[in-house]
Amino acid sequence: MKLYILRHGETDLNTKGVMQGWLDAPLNRNGRSLAVLTGQGMRGIAFDKCISSPLIRATETAQIVLRESKNDIPIQTDDRIREINFGAMEGRTIAEMGEAGALFFKDPFRFPGFPGGETIRGVCERTQAFLKSLIAQDDGKTYLICTHGCATRAMLNFLYENPADFWRGHPPYNCCVNIVFAEQNRPKLVAADKVYYDERLIVNHYK
């Protein structure tokens, strides 16, 4: 199996450093442009299936990438690969989230979550349940999986050399791709945070 795990393109909330969580913001012009470039860069990859978070910024990215990469396949959605839910603090910046919010980047496994929201460990459990169930199928197919920044790091955490280093230096960039090969239920991360567009276009909105 080959799994191409794609973070969605940029949104206006990204540019403001807002933690979107389950807020359903669409891509902005730059986000759509990055998705177009990514899809063009992925021409030659024949995807058998596409699974996306149901949030519009993810499904819109998947639609553009499939179109531009010349893959005419349907998009399935799965709630397990939604972004982390920030509960009562959805739509706030890290600065507005106070001490608890600061832990989200500085010491994420100690991030306590907010009322109605999730912890990092909770997101790891649901996203890894998705990934492991997919890998267990061992169907030899090539998948495009469109998700989110924190969800990507959580999903792949058990494959990292040092799982304690949750962010690996930074959140995944918009439209970056992590590639996992799996055979006989043995997954391996073979490419991390790969971009199919000019690296000069990379922006870290949360540094």
Phi, psi of 55 (to 5 degrees): -70, 140
pLDDT band at 94; cut points 50, 70, 90: confident
Is pLDDT of 162 > 80? yes
Domains of the chain: 2-179 (3.40.50.1240)
Cα distances (angstroms) measured from residue 137 to each of 1, 35, 55, 181:
9, 29, 25, 13
Report the C-alpha gap between 96 and 102 in whole angstroms: 9
pLDDT band at 207; cut points 50, 70, 90: low
Is pLDDT of 34 > 70? yes
Tokens read off for 181: 């090969």
Report the C-alpha gap between 166 and 163 in whole angstroms: 6
pLDDT band at 122; cut points 50, 70, 90: very high
pTM exceeds 0.85: yes
Is pLDDT of 143 > 70? yes
Report the C-alpha gap between 114 and 111 in whole angstroms: 9
